[in-house]
């Protein structure tokens, strides 16, 4: 922990002290009070003095803010250990090629962003040359969350070091033909380069915090020592408006994540205009991060400002910088020296006098060019301070100019985010400014050339030597050669095949029982990562508390109130459970970090995240896309699932749509199991596919979404017969027939096929009895464990047919020859079972719980939505009546009989 009493370089050191003797007297008085009356009295007097100052209108920074100057005085800046001139040339090539790539691509209409990297180039280059550890470094190297709109600059650097060529750059945003570059960081599209997808604004900062936290978790649990890995998150000041960006700041400081650094590129602009037109975003962010317990380092002004601060003998310059709103700072960037003299310096007599000492060129250098984020020396000092600070995370607030070096047409213009190209003349001006050896003759037919000093040039050798010293290329994603995890003992899964007898067991409890057995496995048990958002007791998981422990970096510093109970609340430094409190977003960020540890750290972890299904895909679907983008693996478990099973909670908790949303994600394998043995079979197959030996053509980079229910029901034994396990995994199998259910249908009885999923199968089984006993209809009941997987298989079969390959969808194979119409039912909206309608050869209809949920008993809710057993009977009779297989009057009779 950094000693708060140690003398540290301070922003105050940059302010003029007109009377050092008086200052010393005030300090001595404070020391005397602290010694005589104690530190609490001294603190009280300081607070009252500050209140008095504020009440009398004295202009003081807020307690959580420092003045609008650099945190590290120039005199305290360490020397940059590298060759600054060489690094400047490398940065110039990167700036050029990033702009050239986007401009050349604009001819194809694919767009791109130039201005962001132009502002942030030194923030990245300084890190790549001196700080960012590669994958061959100690531990797992660093994790880099690159700002999405800066991707052209990262591609430009990879081009310079030989990892990309001109053909790659010319296929920026043109991926369909292969060999193209994705617009933004995307591991699924460019898996050897990108680790973290960051363009969904706000998810990068949130994920970075939980990644740093998960690194500590891995080390604490003895899985892998990654204590030397550092997480760097590069963010935009406009991006910090997203609630996810700041959602976990307190967690990071509370757990002392000094393995984490945020670098916020404060170019003062969002996509349409100023981030804080009438305010100051840097000051706002400083207060927000300091209030959350972070260390804050501001790098605002370049060396050109040093002379101005030295001339400021009254403090007027610092006061004026503090009061000028960001939009006006942006205006200064585009105006001449006369305007700046009048508008900035003319507001204070002391500043008028100061300005008389400055040439116009000096004023323009300061206000147009000199920012802390544009100088290697300033950035290096900030990064070094961040790494040396212990006990809390650090945020570096680096002020830059959006569109820097791109010319007057770009710099600080509100529209520069949408400006996709430079003219040839603008490129030539940029070339001259950057002093690049590119001749006019290289602009052939108006096409801007790429620039490269040569594979054996001093620039490339320097770049590669620096990266070699830091552990290899960066950014980079590696999938380490990890041996498949051994499969758990078969008996763990087989124990569910016999059913529960007369005991009522909800599928949620069945899943928890399965996990209890799996975490005891000697080979793989330690690799399970249970994640729960403060609902463990709801899901019956409290028995895991004492056996696995809840992860806490502090362990348990108190005696728990339930210590004398068997299932007491146990926290431990090496705890296995991540109990996140009421934050689905934080829990998903945990899941993403754990699910990608096989790549990030070369350690396969098996996360399962159990949550109210209504609050999963509905609240955090964006992160579930991020999970798929990042090639994460694991089990998402939507508990208390369905629209009618959560008695009394009402529409806010009644999930009728999560499988629909999940179906939109290509990486999500969505299952709605009805019985305990189905849950076991799906988890078993998921472990094989994601962590064991995937079959040829199977992508292991998927995740499973299982819905489980809180409705206790007798769990039947697994039916005997061939293909049951295959049907469970593929999405459909026949659970029973009228004959196997001992319903003794007549030989010529009308027949219908009832397809159902999840808890709805119990209504279908009741309807099967009613149809046989009261209407003489034979019904076969099928368990549709995954409507979505059935649909995907059918879509793939359709695509194969277009390629001239003969392939029959599994759903058609399974239902082929089944007698009568098909009636599908689920506890979700009809859109869920209707996913397969076009591939069913029989007459097809469906029932579902469409509309808003409501508070009532399960029976009343099911009657309301028309999905209870009696409603199924009426719908089945209606289908058969259409075919002339039962009398039309039977439908009316059934409605009246059941009070529908």
Distant-in-sequence, close-in-space partners of 699: CB < 8 Å, separation ≥ 6? none
Of 171-185, 208-222, 387-401, the least confident? 171-185
- Read off the pLDDT band of 607 (50, 70, 90): very high
Class of residue 407 by CB neighbours under 10 A (exposed 0-12, middle 13-18, buried 19+): middle
| Sign of the Cα pseudo-torsion (793, 796, 801, 806, in order) | negative
Q: What pLDDT does residue 11 have?
A: 59
Higher pLDDT, 707 or 53: 707
Asked if residue 722 has pLDDT above 90, the reply is no
The structure tokens 């009057």 sit at 889
Helix (H) or strand (E) holding 790: helix 787-802
What is the mean pLDDT of the segment spanning 487-508? 94
Asked if residue 875 has pLDDT above 70, the reply is yes
Contact predicate 643/861, CB 8 Å: yes
Q: What pLDDT does residue 6 have?
A: 43
C-alpha angle 111-113-115 in degrees, rounded to nearest 5: 145
Asked if residue 12 has pLDDT above 80, the reply is no
What would the pLDDT profile of 130-186 be if each residue is shown by its tens digit?
999 999 988 899 999 999 999 999 999 999 999 999 999 999 999 988 889 999 999
What is the mean pLDDT of the segment spanning 32-47? 88
Asked if residue 872 has pLDDT above 70, the reply is yes
Which runs of consecutive H residues, i.e. helices, occur in 356-422?
360-364, 376-388
Q: How far, in Å, CA of 525 to CA of 254, rounded?
A: 29
Asked if residue 634 has pLDDT above 80, the reply is yes
Q: On the CB side of 823, how many CA atoms lie within 13 Å of its CA?
A: 29
Rg (CA), the chain: 33
Task: Give me the DSSP letters along 13-63.
Answer: GGS--S-HHHHHHHHHHHHHHHHHH-HHHHHHHHHHHHHHHHHTT-----T
Mean pLDDT value across the chain: 92
For residue 354, the tally of other CB atoms under 10 A from its CB is 19
Q: What pLDDT does residue 493 have?
A: 95
Phi and psi torsions of 854, nearest 5°: -155, 160
Q: What pLDDT does residue 137 have?
A: 86
| Sign of the Cα pseudo-torsion (92, 161, 190, 147, in order) | negative
Q: What pLDDT does residue 35 have?
A: 92
Structure tokens at 475: 């950014």
Phi and psi torsions of 894, nearest 5°: -65, -40
Of 537-546, 669-678, 750-759, 788-797, the least confident? 537-546
What is the mean pLDDT of the segment spanning 23-29? 91
**Of 286, 246, 244, 245, residue with least CA distance to 266:** 286
Is pTM beyond 0.75? Reply is yes
Q: What pLDDT does residue 454 have?
A: 96
Q: What pLDDT does residue 5 have?
A: 38
What would the pLDDT profile of 251-308 be if each residue is shown by its tens digit?
999 999 999 999 999 999 887 889 999 999 999 999 999 999 999 999 999 999 999 9
Q: What pLDDT does residue 66 have?
A: 87
As beta bridge partners, residue 265 has: 236, 398
Distance of CA 743 to the CA centre of its chain: 52
What is the mean pLDDT of the segment spanning 770-794? 97
- Peptide linkage before 568 cis (omega within 30 of 0): no
Asked if residue 7 has pLDDT above 50, the reply is no
Q: On the CB side of 421, how many CA atoms lie within 13 Å of its CA?
A: 15
**Of 667, 165, 839, 26, residue with least CA distance to 450:** 165
For residue 854, the tally of other CB atoms under 10 A from its CB is 16
Q: What pLDDT does residue 3 have?
A: 45
Q: What pLDDT does residue 825 have?
A: 98
**Of 718, 729, 628, residue with least CA distance to 688:** 729
Task: Give me the DSSP letters along 563-589.
Answer: TTSTT---EETT--BEE--S-HHHHHH
Asked if residue 833 has pLDDT above 80, the reply is yes
- Read off the pLDDT band of 1 (50, 70, 90): very low
What is the mean pLDDT of the segment spanning 536-551? 89
Asked if residue 548 has pLDDT above 90, the reply is yes
Q: What pLDDT does residue 411 have?
A: 59
Q: What pLDDT does residue 539 have?
A: 86
Distant-in-sequence, close-in-space partners of 320: CB < 8 Å, separation ≥ 6? 344, 345, 347, 348, 351
Structure tokens at 352: 């008028």
SS3 sequence of 827-871: CCCCCCHHHHHHHCCCCEEEECCCCCCCCCCHHHHHHHHCCCHHH
As beta bridge partners, residue 395 has: 262, 296
Asked if residue 15 has pLDDT above 80, the reply is no
What would the pLDDT profile of 398-434 be if each residue is shown by its tens digit?
999 988 888 766 654 554 445 557 889 999 999 999 9
- Read off the pLDDT band of 113 (50, 70, 90): confident
Asked if residue 504 has pLDDT above 50, the reply is yes
What would the pLDDT profile of 343-375 be if each residue is shown by its tens digit?
999 999 999 999 999 999 999 999 998 999 999
Contact predicate 467/459, CB 8 Å: no
- Read off the pLDDT band of 867 (50, 70, 90): very high
Asked if residue 8 has pLDDT above 60, the reply is no
For residue 629, the tally of other CB atoms under 10 A from its CB is 25
Higher pLDDT, 818 or 63: 818
Asked if residue 98 has pLDDT above 90, the reply is yes
């Amino acid at each position: 922990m950094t000693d708060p009493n140690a003398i540290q370089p301070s922003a105050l050191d940059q302010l003029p002290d007109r009377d050092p003797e008086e200052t010393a007297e005030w300090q001595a008085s404070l020391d005397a009070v602290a010694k005589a009356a104690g530190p609490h009295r001294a603190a009280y007097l300081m607070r009252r003095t500050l209140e008095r100052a504020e009440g009398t209108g004295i202009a003081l920074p807020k307690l959580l803010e420092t003045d609008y100057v650099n945190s590290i005085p120039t005199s305290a800046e360490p020397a940059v250990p590298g060759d600054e001139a060489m690094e400047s040339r490398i940065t110039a090539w990167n700036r050029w090629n990033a702009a050239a790539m986007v401009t050349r691509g604009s001819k194809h209409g694919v767009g791109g962003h130039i201005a962001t990297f132009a502002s942030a180039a030194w923030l990245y280059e300084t890190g790549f040359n001196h700080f960012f550890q590669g994958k061959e470094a100690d531990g797992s190297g660093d994790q880099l969350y690159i700002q999405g709109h800066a991707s052209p600059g990262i591609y430009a650097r990879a081009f310079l070091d030989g990892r990309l060529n001109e053909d790659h750059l010319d296929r920026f945003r043109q991926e369909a033909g292969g060999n193209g570059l994705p617009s933004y960081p995307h591991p699924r599209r460019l898996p050897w380069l990108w680790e973290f997808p960051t363009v969904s604004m706000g998810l990068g900062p949130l994920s970075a915090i939980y990644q740093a936290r998960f690194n500590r978790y891995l080390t604490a649990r003895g899985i892998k020592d990654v204590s030397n890995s550092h997480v760097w998150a590069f963010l935009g000041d406009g991006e910090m408006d997203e609630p996810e960006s700041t959602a976990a700041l307190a967690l990071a400081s509370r757990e002392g994540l000094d393995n984490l650094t945020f670098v916020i590129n404060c170019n003062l602009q969002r996509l349409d205009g100023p981030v804080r037109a009438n305010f100051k975003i840097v000051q706002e962010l400083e207060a927000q991060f300091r209030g959350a317990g972070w260390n804050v380092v501001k790098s605002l002004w370049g060396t050109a400002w040093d002379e101005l601060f030295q001339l400021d003998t009254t403090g007027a310059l610092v006061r004026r910088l503090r009061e000028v709103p960001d939009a006006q700072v942006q205006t200064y960037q585009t105006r001449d020296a006369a305007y700046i003299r009048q508008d900035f310096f003319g507001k204070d007599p002391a500043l008028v006098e100061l300005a008389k000492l400055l040439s116009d060129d000096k004023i323009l250098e300061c206000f147009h060019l000199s920012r802390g984020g544009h100088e290697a020396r300033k950035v290096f000092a900030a990064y070094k301070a961040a790494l040396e600070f212990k006990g809390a995370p650090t945020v570096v607030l680096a002020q830059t100019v959006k569109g820097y070096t791109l010319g007057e047409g770009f710099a600080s213009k509100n529209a520069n985010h949408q400006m996709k190209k430079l003219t040839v003349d603008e490129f030539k001006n940029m070339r001259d400014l950057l002093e690049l050896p590119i001749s006019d003759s290289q602009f052939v037919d108006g096409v801007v050339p790429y620039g490269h000093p040569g594979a054996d040039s001093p620039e490339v050798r320097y770049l590669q030597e620096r990266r070699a010293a830091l552990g290899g290329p960066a950014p980079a994603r590696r999938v380490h050669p990890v041996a498949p995890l051994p499969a758990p003992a078969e008996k763990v899964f087989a124990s569910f095949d016999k059913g529960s007898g007369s005991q009522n067991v909800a599928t949620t409890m069945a899943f928890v029982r399965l996990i209890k057995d799996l975490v005891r496995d000697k080979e793989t048990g330690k690799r399970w990562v249970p994640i729960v958002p403060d609902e463990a007791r709801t899901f019956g998981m409290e028995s895991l508390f004492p056996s696995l422990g809840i992860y806490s970096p502090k362990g348990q510093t108190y005696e728990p109130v339930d210590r004398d109970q068997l299932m007491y609340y146990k926290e431990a430094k090496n705890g296995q459970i991540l109990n996140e409190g009421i934050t689905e977003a934080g829990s998903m960020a945990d899941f993403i970090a754990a699910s990608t540890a096989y790549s990030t750290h070369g350690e396969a972890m098996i996360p399962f995240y159990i949550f109210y299904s209504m609050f999963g895909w509905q609240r955090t679907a964006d992160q579930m896309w991020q999970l798929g983008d990042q090639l994460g693996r694991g089990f998402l478990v939507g508990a208390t699932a369905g629209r009618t099973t959560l008695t009394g909670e009402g529409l806010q908790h009644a999930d009728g749509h999560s499988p629909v949303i999940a179906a939109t994600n290509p990486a999500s394998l969505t299952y709605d199991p009805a019985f305990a043995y189905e849950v076991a079979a799906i988890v078993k197959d998921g472990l094989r596919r994601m962590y064991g030996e995937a079959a040829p053509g199977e992508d292991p980079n998927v995740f499973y979404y299982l819905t489980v229910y809180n409705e206790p029901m007798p769990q039947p034994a697994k039916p005997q017969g061939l293909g049951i396990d295959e049907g469970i995994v593929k999405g459909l199998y026949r659970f029973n027939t009228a004959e196997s259910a001992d319903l003794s249908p007549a030989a010529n009885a009308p027949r219908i096929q009832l397809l159902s999923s999840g808890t709805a199968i119990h209504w279908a089984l009741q309807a099967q009895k009613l149809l046989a006993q009261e209407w003489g209809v034979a019904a076969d009941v099928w368990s549709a464990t995954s409507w979505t997987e059935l649909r995907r298989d059918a879509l793939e079969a359709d695509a194969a047919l277009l390629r001239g390959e003969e392939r029959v969808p599994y759903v058609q194979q399974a239902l082929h020859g089944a007698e009568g119409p098909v009636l599908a039912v689920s506890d979700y909206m009809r859109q869920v079972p209707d996913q397969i309608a076009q591939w069913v050869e029989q007459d097809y209809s469906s029932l579902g719980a469409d509309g808003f949920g409501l508070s009532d008993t399960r029976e009343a809710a099911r009657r309301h939505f028309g999905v209870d057993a009696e409603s199924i009977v009426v719908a089945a009779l209606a289908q058969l009546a259409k075919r002339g297989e039962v009398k039309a009057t039977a439908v009316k009779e059934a409605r009246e009989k059941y009070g529908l």
